[in-house]
């Protein structure tokens, strides 16, 4: 078996089970790499006055974690800047929040060079290299410049944007061109893949071939959808732990017979929290008889607190929670419990299990792992109902959820009413179908399918395949529903 070298902005030791809101990527990758031989490289989270490229090495369960410190300016320009103020909002279709500063772009390039500088000497001829997420798109180009010939794959954990929005990015061509230094590029869903194809065919003048290859900028790569899953077995085990049971009991006791609706999200504007609260408010107003029989528990640990938009959304949510609670509360009941800190994973599992409804309503989300965790934590005899935004990648797989348009308060209100009233038989039938998918398409299946596809690159280099497949032109591109929601032409 080849050694697998993973690179992502941050790394998390695979055994981490406790509190934290590291986010989906770090958790999933930690699980994917458990019991795997390889190296996982990333930023340490610390700064140093001057970049030295000195690696801190930690060995755990077969995986070598290698971390490097960055300079303060790197963190400002690459992480807070280009990654979180440019690419994140743009790829989530929030061009109103996107910063287009040149200094961010040059910091991003510099840090990608720095990652390549420290990584290149570690690479052995048989290694497979797997780069993760929008922080590191140009990394393969920098590695190729340093003579690395190994298969290199890239996985994007967030959506690929509609080309009409991507072109607002200065140097968008260079960014996409650098993706063509990879051998394999993966997305969560066909929808994000279609959007990528759209850019390639219509903006870059490239070709999308019938067998999954994509040709542009004088290079041919493979691009495919690899839907990520959770570590379902592990999560089910966590859900059965003593801590999870205690947390479940605590929730049931404090609910006092009321039905709990739960939301768990990093505090991020892409997660649709304000729209969710407005939808819930609408539900309360539409259903006065149900008001005191329900409550919403929203867990929203803050992230990226150095970025202004994240401070602002926190303030807005606090104000909104205060207003809704002020209007609807009684002396013995408040409609929203809003919690701003992270829980341990096992506690979270107990909270999910105690909730009659899991409310997952992002405005745009690569996949969304909370939806899958909610399902995995349910009691098979008395499962809750998942309400899921159609704009989460997960909606492509989790068809048995109640699928909603999170922009519509009425849609949310109707789905809450339907979910809370759903008979046991229907809840069980929907849950069984959802749980089958969560167990089958788990994080190990995701890792295996990506690594197999990357291994195949070595076995059948792309040059040898040249000319085997005819271009599929013109390709019909499925309209991106999020673009449609924004009124964009498809
Ligand atoms: C990115 C993409 C894609 C949340 N609060 C707590 C906590 N969490 C954990 C959840 C879940 C994770 O954070 C969030 O994962 P998501 O997938 O929902 O979202 P992102 O962080 O935005 O992840 C996303 C993912 O990458 C993987 O590719 O699905 O679309 O945006 O695991 O449980 N964990 C703990 N306490 C909390 O309070 N312990």
- From the CB of 179, is ligand 1 less than 6 Å away? no
Ligand 1 centroid, distance to 355 Cα (angstroms)? 18
Instruction: Kindly state the tokens that stand for 371.
Output: 């939806």
Residue 490 belongs to a domain: no
Ligand 1 centroid, distance to 409 Cα (angstroms)? 24
Instruction: Tell me which H or E stretch contains 374.
Output: helix 369-376
- From the CB of 156, is ligand 1 less than 6 Å away? no
244 and 215 co-located in one domain: no
What does the pLDDT read at residue 187?
98
183 and 236 co-located in one domain: no
- From the CB of 370, is ligand 1 less than 6 Å away? yes
| Best probe residue, ligand 1, of 20, 23, 273, 349 (max atoms within 8 Å of C-beta) | 23
Residue 476 belongs to a domain: yes
344 and 326 co-located in one domain: yes
In the residue annotation, 365 being an active-site residue is answered as yes
- From the CB of 335, is ligand 1 less than 6 Å away? no
330 and 387 co-located in one domain: yes
Ligand 1 centroid, distance to 264 Cα (angstroms)? 9
Q: List the catalytic residue out of 365, 411, 442, 480.
A: 365
CB within 8 Å of 333: residues ≥ 6 apart:
258, 291, 292, 295
pTM greater than the 0.85 cutoff: yes
- From the CB of 19, is ligand 1 less than 6 Å away? yes
pLDDT band at residue 448, thresholds of 50, 70 and 90?
very high
Quick one: which atom of ligand 1 is closest to the CA of 369? 17
| Best probe residue, ligand 1, of 90, 266, 299 (max atoms within 8 Å of C-beta) | 266
- From the CB of 264, is ligand 1 less than 6 Å away? yes
Residue 368 belongs to a domain: yes
- The dihedrals phi and psi of 338, each to the nearest 5 degrees, come to -115, 115
Q: What is the pLDDT of residues 122-149, one digit of tens each?
A: 999 999 999 999 999 999 999 999 999 9
Rounded CA separation 367/24 (Å) = 9
77 and 126 co-located in one domain: yes
pLDDT band at residue 480, thresholds of 50, 70 and 90?
very low
Q: What is the pLDDT of residues 229-239, one digit of tens each?
A: 999 888 888 99
Ligand 1 centroid, distance to 5 Cα (angstroms)? 23
257 and 202 co-located in one domain: no
Return the number of other C-beta atoms located less than 10 Å from residue 369's C-beta.
25
38 and 114 co-located in one domain: yes
- Which of 16-20, 108-112, 384-388 is predicted least confidently? 16-20
339 close to 254: Cβ distance less than 8 angstroms: no
- From the CB of 25, is ligand 1 less than 6 Å away? yes
Quick one: which atom of ligand 1 is closest to the CA of 228? 28
Ligand 1 centroid, distance to 204 Cα (angstroms)? 33
**Among residues 440, 456, 476, which one ends one of the domains?**
440
Report helix, strand or coil for 51: coil
Rounded CA separation 373/233 (Å) = 11
Q: Residue 310 belongs to what domain range?
A: 232-440
Quick one: which atom of ligand 1 is closest to the CA of 341? 38
117 and 211 co-located in one domain: yes
105 and 166 co-located in one domain: yes
276 and 412 co-located in one domain: yes
Instruction: Name the domain count of the chain.
Output: 2
Quick one: which atom of ligand 1 is closest to the CA of 28? 27
Number of H helices, E strands in the chain: 19, 16
Residue recorded with tokens 């500088």: 117
**DSSP code string of 264-282:** E--B-GGG-HHHHHHHHHH
Ligand 1 centroid, distance to 150 Cα (angstroms)? 31
Angle at the Cα of 27 from the Cα atoms of 24 and 28, rounded to 5 degrees: 80
Ligand 1 centroid, distance to 428 Cα (angstroms)? 25
Report the CATH number that the domain containing residue 198 is assigned in CATH. 3.40.50.2000
Instruction: Kindly state the tokens that stand for 91.
Output: 């790829």
Residue 251 belongs to a domain: yes
DSSP state of 75: I
330 and 361 co-located in one domain: yes
| Best probe residue, ligand 1, of 244, 264, 302 (max atoms within 8 Å of C-beta) | 264
Angle at the Cα of 268 from the Cα atoms of 76 and 321, rounded to 5 degrees: 130
- From the CB of 21, is ligand 1 less than 6 Å away? yes
Ligand 1 centroid, distance to 102 Cα (angstroms)? 30
What does the pLDDT read at residue 59?
84
- From the CB of 355, is ligand 1 less than 6 Å away? no
User: What's the mean pLDDT in 337-360?
Assistant: 95
**Among residues 403, 420, 440, which one ends one of the domains?**
440
Residue 244 has pLDDT above 60, yes or no: yes
**Among residues 425, 440, 455, which one ends one of the domains?**
440
- Which of 20-29, 113-122, 138-147, 289-298 is predicted least confidently? 20-29
Residue 212 belongs to a domain: yes
- Which of 15-29, 58-72, 218-232, 315-329 is predicted least confidently? 15-29
- From the CB of 238, is ligand 1 less than 6 Å away? no
In the residue annotation, 157 being an active-site residue is answered as yes
pLDDT band at residue 303, thresholds of 50, 70 and 90?
confident
90 and 178 co-located in one domain: yes
Quick one: which atom of ligand 1 is closest to the CA of 393? 30
What does the pLDDT read at residue 223?
97
Residue 469 has pLDDT above 90, yes or no: no
Instruction: Tell me which H or E stretch contains 438.
Output: helix 424-440
- From the CB of 29, is ligand 1 less than 6 Å away? no
Residue 104 belongs to a domain: yes
Helices (H), 125-214: 139-145, 163-166, 172-179, 190-202
């Amino acid at each position: 078996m080849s050694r697998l070298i993973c690179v992502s902005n941050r790394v998390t030791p695979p055994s981490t089970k406790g509190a934290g809101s590291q986010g989906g990527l770090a958790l999933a990758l930690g699980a994917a790499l458990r019991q795997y031989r390889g190296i996982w490289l990333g930023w340490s989270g610390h700064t140093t006055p001057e970049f030295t490229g000195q690696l801190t090495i930690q060995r755990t369960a077969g995986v070598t974690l290698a971390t490097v410190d960055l300079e303060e300016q790197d963190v400002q320009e690459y992480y807070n800047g280009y990654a979180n103020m440019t690419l994140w909002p743009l790829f989530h279709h929030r061009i109103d929040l996107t910063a287009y500063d040149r200094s961010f772009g040059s910091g991003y390039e510099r840090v990608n060079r720095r990652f390549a500088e420290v990584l290149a000497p570690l690479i052995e001829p048989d290694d497979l290299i797997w780069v993760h997420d929008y922080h590191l798109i140009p990394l393969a180009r920098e590695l190729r410049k340093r003579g690395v010939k190994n298969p290199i794959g890239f996985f994007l954990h967030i959506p690929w944007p509609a080309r009409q929005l991507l072109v607002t990015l200065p140097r968008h061509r260079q960014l996409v061109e650098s993706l063509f230094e990879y051998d394999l590029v993966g997305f969560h869903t066909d929808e994000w893949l279609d959007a990528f194809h759209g850019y390639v065919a219509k903006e870059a003048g490239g070709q999308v071939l019938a067998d999954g290859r994509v040709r542009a900028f004088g290079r041919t790569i493979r691009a495919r959808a690899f839907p990520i899953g959770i570590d379902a077995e592990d999560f089910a085990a966590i859900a059965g732990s003593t801590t999870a049971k205690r947390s479940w009991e605590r929730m049931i006791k404090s609910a006092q017979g009321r039905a709990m609706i739960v939301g768990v999200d990093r505090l991020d504007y892409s997660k649709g929290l304000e729209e969710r609260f407005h939808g819930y408010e609408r539900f309360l107003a539409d259903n006065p008889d149900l008001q005191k029989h329900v409550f919403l528990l929203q867990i929203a640990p803050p992230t990226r607190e150095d970025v202004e938009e994240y401070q602002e959304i926190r303030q807005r949510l606090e104000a909104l929670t205060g207003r809704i609670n002020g209007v609807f509360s009684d002396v013995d009941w408040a409609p929203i419990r809003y919690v701003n800190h992270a829980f341990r994973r096992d506690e979270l599992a107990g909270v999910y299990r105690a909730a009659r409804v899991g409310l997952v309503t992002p405005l745009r989300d690569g996949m969304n792992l909370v939806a899958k965790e909610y399902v995995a934590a349910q009691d098979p005899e008395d499962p809750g109902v998942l309400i899921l935004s159609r704009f989460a990648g997960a909606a492509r797989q989790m068809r048995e959820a109640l699928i909603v348009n999170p922009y519509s308060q009425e849609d949310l209100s109707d789905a809450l009413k339907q979910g809370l009233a759903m008979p046991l038989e229907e809840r069980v039938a929907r849950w069984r179908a959802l749980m089958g998918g969560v167990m089958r398409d788990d994080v190990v299946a995701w890792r295996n399918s990506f690594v197999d596809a990357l291994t195949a690159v070595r076995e059948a280099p792309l040059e040898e395949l040249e000319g085997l497949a005819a271009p599929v032109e013109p390709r019909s591109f499925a309209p991106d529903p999020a673009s449609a929601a924004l009124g964009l032409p498809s």
